[in-house]
Copies of this chain bind each other. A is one copy, B any other.
Amino acid sequence: MTVDSRFYAPLGALTLESAAALAGAVLVGDGQLEISGVAAADTAGPGELAFLEGDHPGQVSLSHALQMIVVNEAASAHLADGVSRIVSRQPRHTHSVIARALLRPRFLGPAERSAISPSARVHPGAVICPGAVIGAGAAVGEGTIISPNAVIGPGVQVGRHGFIGAGASVNCALLGDFVTLLAGARIGETGFGVIPGPNGLEDAPHFGRVILQDHVTVGANTCIDRGVFADTIIGERTKIDNLCQIAHNVVLGRSVIVAAFGGISGSVRVGDGSMLGGRVGIADHVKVGEGVSLAGSSGLFRDVAAGETWGGTPAKPIREWMREVAWLSKQTRPKKKD
């Protein structure tokens, strides 16, 4: 996907040659290619610079439209000739240096003087409470309430008949109609990604968005991070309780229920109508089918097919888990004396 310029200001295009020079890395291929954006290696289109971690590009299915990529020397040897590349010891870090030279998140820009930016479009039928801050280019639809001290970042689009709770904040996000965010919800923060750099650990920059479809509800103090290059997407009528964590690039289907303390790691997919009990954790990249139930407190590390019910840590089909719990209890029960 193309980076959304409502949230990320382009700082001027770079050629692949100038990008390599900027990062102090080696160019192999067409240095005159112009970099217009950044993307993941499996989705990059023309003009978008991707990267690969590790020595074996075969682990990722590269986009057919891939023109240019940052790789290390070992991985470079395996790449098709048509792909131009920047060769670096730390490809992820080199890519982040170039990405930061291309794009700047608008919320890092100069401060507005007024709480409601003159360039924000607020429907006259919306209610903006005292202390609310609305950034440049943001929009708030008819009948939506922005509660006291809530913060709507630059470019954020909030649909009609929504409710943004006290002190909640939204960045880099598109909200449909009838979306409810309870107090203190944090939408669109940078996700958690740590890149080894020449001076130690650095934060991975994020260039994606959060999409909250119609009738989504997000609980108090719940966090939904924006995607790295793609979007974090919450489907229609999905309901999320308080104090949940939804990481970058997660896609929740429609009418999913996530109870309190739900923790959904990066790039997880959850199918329509699934129900996650309290304090369920799901490891990154796991796929959960439609209509799945996960018992409270379960920790899921594997994919689950549609319609199943799992529990425990590590989670397994609920009958297996309950059988284990019962068996262990029976084995260790003191025998009664006759």
B296 and A242 contacting across the interface, CB-CB below 8 Å: no
Is residue A96 within 8 Å, beta carbon to beta carbon, of the partner chain?
no
Bound CA–CA A129/B132 (angstroms): 12
Residues of the B chain whose Cβ atoms lie less than 8 Å from the Cβ of A192: 219, 239, 241-242, 259-260
Tell me the dominant secondary structure on chain A's binding face: loop
CB within 8 Å of B: which of A245-302?
Answer: 245, 247, 254-255, 257, 259-261, 263, 265, 278-279, 281, 283, 296-297, 299
Encode A170-200 as 1/0 by CB contact (under 8 A) with B.
Answer: 0100000000101110100110101000001
CB within 8 Å of B: which of A313-338?
Answer: 313-314, 316, 320, 323-325, 327-329, 331-333
Residues of the B chain whose Cβ atoms lie less than 8 Å from the Cβ of A127: 110-111
Residues of the B chain whose Cβ atoms lie less than 8 Å from the Cβ of A232: none
Is residue A59 within 8 Å, beta carbon to beta carbon, of the partner chain?
no
Bound CA–CA A296/B282 (angstroms): 10
A62-70, A76-84, A145-153 - interface stretch: A145-153
Is residue A22 within 8 Å, beta carbon to beta carbon, of the partner chain?
no
Are A225 and B239 also in contact (CB < 8 A) when A111-B130, A169-B165, A316-B329 are? no
Is residue A209 within 8 Å, beta carbon to beta carbon, of the partner chain?
no
Is residue A48 within 8 Å, beta carbon to beta carbon, of the partner chain?
no
Q: Which of these, B221, B237, B299, B314, contacts A201 with CB under 8 Å?
A: B237
Is residue A163 within 8 Å, beta carbon to beta carbon, of the partner chain?
yes
A30-38, A87-95, A112-120 - interface stretch: A112-120
Bound CA–CA A281/B277 (angstroms): 11
Are A167 and B194 also in contact (CB < 8 A) when A127-B110, A130-B115, A131-B149 are? no
Q: Can you pick out 28 interface pairs between chain A and chain B where the beta carbons lie within 8 Å of each other?
A: A108-B145, A149-B149, A149-B169, A151-B167, A169-B183, A171-B183, A182-B189, A182-B190, A183-B189, A192-B239, A192-B241, A192-B242, A201-B237, A201-B238, A201-B255, A221-B221, A221-B223, A223-B242, A243-B243, A243-B245, A247-B260, A261-B263, A261-B281, A281-B296, A281-B297, A297-B313, A320-B329, A324-B329
